[in-house]
Amino acid sequence: MWRDAALVAGKDLRIEARSRVALSQVAPFGIVALALFAFALGPDRDVLARGAPGLFWVAVLFCTVLAVQRSVSVESADGARDGLRLSGIDPAGLFLGKAAAVGVQLLVLEAILVAGVVLLYGARIQIPWMVGVSCALGTIGLAVTGTLYGALSSGLRMRETLLPFLLLPIVAPVLLAGTRIWQAAMVGGSPGDGTQWLRLLVAFDAVYLAVGVILFGPIQETA
Amino acid sequence: MRYIVAGYVVILGLLFLYAVQIVWRRRRLTRAVARVVAAGTAHDGAGDAVGTAAGRHA
Amino acid sequence: MSDLESALGRTHGSPVPTAAGTGPTPPPVRSARSRATERVIGVLALVGTAFTVWLGLWVTPPDRTQGDLVRLVYLHPGVAWVALYLAFGLAAVSSLLYLWPRTRSLFWDRLAAASVEVGVVFNVCTLVSGSIWGKPTWGVWWAWDARLTLTAVLLVLFLGYLALRRIPAEPEVRARRSAFVALFAVLDVPLVHFSVNWWNTLHQGATVLNPGLTLKIHGSMAWTLLLGFVSLTLAFVWMLLVRYRIGVLEDWLDANELDAALAERRSEGTGPGPAVPSEPVGVA
């Protein structure tokens, strides 16, 4: 399973490295989103700085949807999906591999967005490790659920509009947790409040990882 | 008190409207099924042609 | 894939096996007993609800603190219980039963779909009545408190499920897809519940099933509350039965309409023969 996962992840990441869609299209879109938030909320940096956690995570969610769409569409051409199923790749490995690829892309995007938020909104991060951990855990949750819903909606005609509608309510806990952890990280002092949210993120990740590993095979057959 | 009445009206109104809608839908579908069944039994003599045509379009 | 081909594909994939398209399969019938049961439940629901309204609006006394505003307690928690626990719970269990190989049957899928659709209606009732109750009580039409937010998220999840079902597909494929979405939503609800609870809370500390709530309400108010719950539950069951029947009829029509239409078209032509087109040629 792990070898298959590495294979699939490598394939997806190599495709990304060659086409550079995430870097050249999704990342700028994320930055544009940050700019749009700034336009919407006014030039007062205080407001933006206080809203930074939420705005960051919303931008991440937008990017997640795009990244997942891309991950799904990579396989829609030339019957690649059927080819994958015929090749005997362990479905759990396929799931982990695709999720990992999406996750890596999201992490890169998040790094850019963190820089954007710090620079553009003047957000001051007192406890950087909390930001890092929340991004890591949140990304796992987003990548995993995104891959699951991507698989469910692959091949459907209305995928573009349906996927965000299905996915975003599901990842609401990630948004809530991520924002709260960021707020704790920005306020500084003791990380007390943030730890229960971290535990929630871990629970979220664990649940959907387990679901994906166990059910990805049957899920694929619904496409 | 106006709010209370409004609340009651809204809840009961929504439920009532939905109830009416599903009863109407069911009636419409039952009639459609009846039509299909009638068409089927009336044209059972054309059964041979069905096989040929279906084979052509498969 | 032309529309005709996909339609034929759907027909061949119908759960009721058609013998090489020789005509429509027997239509789903309803026993007199099921019709009678439905009628009884419907009447009981109607009578119960009417009684609840009468009791709630006139007979019961106003609350000491909330005054007349308390009267919404006879309906609002009831619809909330139906939407959040009954409808959603039933949809979740049915979806799981469909996914489980030993109990797989389109019955569970159709039950889940019916439950979700009726659940959406009750959910909207919950949100709107909650909002109407909130305005005089809290001063705002909406507040991001834990339970309201969870109800709203649940509504969106329900709507997503319904949107997914509207995509044309073979009944089994659609059933599986919907069941997975339902499963994911079920797993998400406790997570959302905790997140939103830690995030904010403005609602009364009591949950719908909290015995503390009933302690503060006694006498005629308690009985009216109970009647409200029961009536709304019966209303849900009645709507479920009707909506389920709609699902059965729709699936049967999907599977058989084309066969019947083809048969009809062929016999409209010059009799059985290969020259009969199955679609009207565009001659003006």
State mean pLDDT over B27-35.
87
Q: Which of A134, A117, A106 is nearest to A23 (CA)?
A: A106
Q: Could you tell me if residue B18 is inside a domain?
A: yes
Q: Can you give the pLDDT at residue B26?
A: 92
Among A19-28, A79-88, C10-19, C158-167, name the most confident range: C158-167
Q: Which of C23, C38, C53 is nearest to C231 (CA)?
A: C53
Side chain identity, residue C162: L
Inspect the interface and report whether the beta carbons of A177 and C167 lie closer than 8 Å. Answer: no
Q: Could you tell me if residue B51 is inside a domain?
A: no
Q: Can you give the pLDDT at residue C24?
A: 53
- Chain C contact set for A158 (CB, 8 A): 167
**Residue ranges of chain A with per-residue pLDDT less than 70:** 77-79, 155, 158, 189-193, 222-223
Domains contained in chain B, number:
1
> Cα separation of C136 and C201, whole Å?
18
B3, B7, B29 ranked by CB distance to C253: nearest: B29
A182 or C201: which carries more pLDDT confidence? Answer: A182
Band of pLDDT at residue C258, cut at 50, 70 and 90: confident
> Cα separation of C79 and C284, whole Å?
55
Q: Which of C167, C169, C156, C19 is nearest to C88 (CA)?
A: C156
> Cα separation of C142 and C134, whole Å?
7
Q: Burial-class residue A139 by CB neighbours within 10 Å (0-12, 13-18, 19+).
A: buried
Chains B and A touch (3+ CB pairs under 8 A): no
Q: Can you give the pLDDT at residue B33?
A: 84
Q: Containing domain of residue B23, as a range? A: 2-41
> Cα separation of C81 and C142, whole Å?
20
State mean pLDDT over C206-219.
44
Helix axes C220-268, B2-42, angle to 10 degrees: 30
C164 to chain A, any CB pair closer than 8 A? The answer is yes
Is the separation of the CB atoms in C202 and C138 below 8 Å? Answer: yes
CA angle C226, C228, C234 (to 5 degrees): 105
Q: Can you give the pLDDT at residue C34?
A: 84
Q: What is the dihedral of CA C163, C166, C172, C177, to 10 degrees?
A: -20
Residues 89-128 of C with CB under 8 A from B: 118, 121-122, 124-125, 128
For an interface test with C, give the residue of A168, A196, A222 to mutate (most C CBs within 10 A).
Answer: A222
Res. C219: pLDDT tops 50: yes
C99, C160, C195 ranked by CB distance to A165: nearest: C160
Q: Could you tell me if residue B56 is inside a domain?
A: no
Res. C137: pLDDT tops 60: yes
Is the separation of the CB atoms in C30 and C36 below 8 Å? Answer: no
Whole-prediction pTM: 0.81
C49 Cα to chain A: minimum distance (Å): 33
Q: What are phi and psi of A76, to 5 degrees?
A: -85, -15
Inspect the interface and report whether the beta carbons of C129 and B7 lie closer than 8 Å. Answer: yes
Inspect the interface and report whether the beta carbons of C184 and A177 lie closer than 8 Å. Answer: no
Res. C268: pLDDT tops 90: no
Q: Can you give the pLDDT at residue A223?
A: 57
Q: Could you tell me if residue B29 is inside a domain?
A: yes
Q: Which residues contact C71 (CB under 8 A, 6 or more apart)?
A: B4, B8, C56, C57, C60, C62
Tens digit of each residue's pLDDT (9 = 90 or more) over A82-122: 777 777 778 888 888 889 988 998 999 999 999 888 888 87
Q: Can you give the pLDDT at residue B47?
A: 47
- Reported ipTM: the value is 0.84
Tens digit of each residue's pLDDT (9 = 90 or more) over C103-129: 888 899 999 999 999 999 999 999 998
Q: A: neighbours with 3+ CB pairs under 8 Å?
A: C
> Cα separation of B38 and B45, whole Å?
13
Extents of the domains making up chain C: 36-61+70-249
Inspect the interface and report whether the beta carbons of B47 and C22 lie closer than 8 Å. Answer: yes
Inspect the interface and report whether the beta carbons of A207 and C187 lie closer than 8 Å. Answer: yes
Res. C204: pLDDT tops 50: no
- Count how many residues are written for chain B: 58
A38 Cα to chain C: minimum distance (Å): 23
Inspect the interface and report whether the beta carbons of A197 and C198 lie closer than 8 Å. Answer: yes
C130 or C214: which carries more pLDDT confidence? Answer: C130
Q: What is the dihedral of CA C109, C113, C119, C123, to 10 degrees?
A: 120
Q: Could you tell me if residue B57 is inside a domain?
A: no
